[in-house]
Structure 1
Amino acid sequence: MSQEIVEPLVLTPPTTQKEVSAVADFVSGNFGGMANVLVGQPLDTIKVRLQLDHGRFNGAWDCAVQTVKNEGVLALYKGMATPIVGIGAVNALLFAANSQFKKALQDHPGQVLSIGQIGLAGAGAGIVNSILASPVELLKIKMQAQYGKGSGSGRYFTGPIDCAKYLIQRDGLANGLGRGMYATILREIPAYFGFYTGFEMVKRHLTKDQAHDATVTQLMISGAAGGIGYWIFSYPFDVVKSVVQNQVEVPKGFYATRVMKQIYARDGLNGLFRGIAPTILRSIPAAGATFTAYELSMRMFANL
């Protein structure tokens, strides 16, 4: 009696991807990063302010209302000059690193990787991405944490360059612009595992019965899934990073666990997830725009 061999179920895209140049990856990653910032900056400002809040705001809506009422609508775009350029470069590095990790995991060019391998490549890209992401987000957070125009007791920064100069003069390069690198790495590893696996799983599901590439709508939906996966896998580490990068004191040693305990002791479990609602809301259009801009740009280069 013969025994039927059942092949394991593997999700695959309708077509294999063409090999693309590093230049295409870099330029497309920039487009993806810029799209992310343009779509998501206001909700990102609310997220950061809630993460650093100690009783000023009664939730995300109250934060948005108070910010606009006291500082104007443009306050929701505080720190945008840094990410619009910096996160373009960050995403360029991220997507280029992800492509290289995927190539390293392939047995032959064009091989379709498993979802687990996609996640592994994403986690590796997250580590590389931290090199640029940490200082760019540090400057962004410093600008977003400022209320009004110098009414607080701390140093008021007129822009990201002023902020960078001050931090380097006060704390040096490593503890100034490099502050929060450890927390950023801890966040980026699970974050980009969730980011790329969420995108690929949904994209492959949506395109499994079609012979052509994903449509813009399918890319937006898949990107949104990736954005949600990013934050579900990593949010408490992002709270730790924001707290550490905004504090005056230089963090000592392997501080992530200590800072988590401090947040939990003061605010409970809610403290580690404060601001997650606007963050998830922001991630849906922002990550959708990121992946869509990247994929469409890559297709343009492939057709040249």
Structure 2
Amino acid sequence: MSADFWAGYISGAAGILIGNPLDVIKVRLQAGTPVTTAPSSYTSQFSTAGSLIRGATAPILGYGALNALLFMTYNRSNTFLNTSPSGLPPNLWTTWLAGAIGGLATWVVSTPTELVKCRAQMSTSASTSSSWGITKDIIRAEGLRGLYFGGIVTALRDSIGYGFYFWSYELSTRSLKSRFGNETNSTAQEAAQVLLCGGLAGVITWASIFPLDMIKTRVQTQISVPQYAVEGEPLIASTPQRRLGAIEIAQNAYRVEGMGVFFRGLGVCSFRAFIVNAAQWAVYEWIMRELDPERRVVEKNV
């Protein structure tokens, strides 16, 4: 496997481990689960130690593969699309397009991963939150096709989001380098730049696609029949008999809850995105430099 595959896989898994507790809160806010405004409201989401990693199994396995596929596709698309003279950085439009292609390529992994993760995180019972158990129940009830429910809105979210992800990281990296230069940077300064640029990229990405992500969450947390019920208690309250499409979900949410519903949980998500993506980019850049010696030479000459 190539260096960017392993760098992407390991950094993706690390990001999930760091950000999963806050991701649980984000998903529950988006899905409409009541959350009080008391100081202990966020910590109360985690009644047990297991709830801190609820829904993390699918993303750790899936998001590692997703991130590996993302970075491999992005790097190769960027190389193919780049028409800038040798030695010059690629055009930012090319960077966005390569990121969008990379995001679209992750659809095959991201849709089932997100589906299982969201349903596990919406569960309030440890016995119904097993990622593997939820996956088996979906396949048993709907076949493999059931794992791709909500795939269109997920693909749209990923394509747009990852376009802005790489675009904003490249833009912020160039801005910092043009201001502070390369030659005087110490290792600590380089690490700080990667953390800052990675964190900003995460925040900008989520801000650009948050309404789509809210719609995706509500689409995927629908269950046509309560097959995950335990002692008569359904996994998700008020489960509809007919599952709604993305447009219907958006229309109903706007009609009942107003425009603010499309940005509910954005604060928590932005905080999580900065931390997770700062760490993720730091891990990715470090592994790439260790596994790809040619990268070091290129960076010194840029």
Which TM-score band (shorter chain)?
Answer: 0.7 to 0.9
Structure 1 residues 277 and 60, CA, compared in 2 at 3 Å: closer, same or farther? farther
State the 4+ residue runs in structure 1 displaced beyond 3 angstroms: 59-63, 107-111, 211-214, 249-252
Q: Which residue of 1 aligns with 2:170?
A: 200
Q: Which residue of 2 aligns with 1:58?
A: 36
Task: Give, in angstroms, the shift of residue 115 of structure 1.
Answer: 1.3
C-alpha contact 2:8 2:70 (8 A) present in aligned 1: yes
Pick from 199, 213, 216 the counterpart of residue 241 of structure 1: 216
TM-score, with normalisation over the residues of structure 1? 0.83
Pick from 184, 195, 202 the counterpart of residue 220 of structure 1: 195
2:275 and 2:43 map into 1 onto residues whose CA distance is 21
Pick from 31, 45, 48 the counterpart of residue 67 of structure 1: 45
C-alpha contact 1:60 1:278 (8 A) present in aligned 2: no
2:99 and 2:4 map into 1 onto residues whose CA distance is 15
Aligned residues: 271
Task: Give, in angstroms, the shift of residue 188 of structure 1.
Answer: 1.0
Task: Give, in angstroms, the shift of residue 74 of structure 1.
Answer: 3.1
- The code of the aligned residue for 2:265 comes to G
Stretches of structure 2 that go unaligned for 5 or more consecutive residues are 225-241, 295-302
Pick from 281, 286, 301 the counterpart of residue 296 of structure 1: 286
Pick from 105, 117, 135 the counterpart of residue 112 of structure 2: 135
User: Which residues in structure 2 correspond to 1:84-123 (within 5 Å)?
Assistant: 84-107=60-83, 112-123=89-100
2:144 and 2:91 map into 1 onto residues whose CA distance is 40
Structure 1 residues 278 and 266, CA, compared in 2 at 3 Å: closer, same or farther? same
TM-score, with normalisation over the residues of structure 2? 0.84
1:26 and 1:61 map into 2 onto residues whose CA distance is 41
Q: CA RMSD in A?
A: 2.1
3-state SS in 2 of match to 1:113: coil
1:113 and 1:121 map into 2 onto residues whose CA distance is 11
- The code of the aligned residue for 2:43 comes to V
Q: Which residue of 1 aligns with 2:58?
A: 82
Query: What is the percent sequence identity of the aligned residues?
Result: 29
User: Which residues in structure 2 correspond to 1:152-231 (within 5 Å)?
Assistant: 156-157=128-129, 159-174=130-145, 176-208=146-178, 209-211=181-183, 215-231=190-206
1:232 and 1:32 map into 2 onto residues whose CA distance is 22
1:52 and 1:233 map into 2 onto residues whose CA distance is 19
Structure 1 residues 169 and 94, CA, compared in 2 at 3 Å: closer, same or farther? same
1:126 and 1:134 map into 2 onto residues whose CA distance is 12
C-alpha contact 1:67 1:73 (8 A) present in aligned 2: no
C-alpha contact 2:20 2:56 (8 A) present in aligned 1: yes
Q: Which residue of 1 aligns with 2:234?
A: none
Cα distance per residue 1:36-57 (max 9 Å; x no partner): 1122111111101111124x21
Cα distance per residue 1:201-232 (max 9 Å; x no partner): 11111122213697111100000111011111
Q: Which residue of 1 aligns with 2:237?
A: none
Task: Give, in angstroms, the shift of residue 60 of structure 1.
Answer: 9.2
3-state SS in 2 of match to 1:215: helix
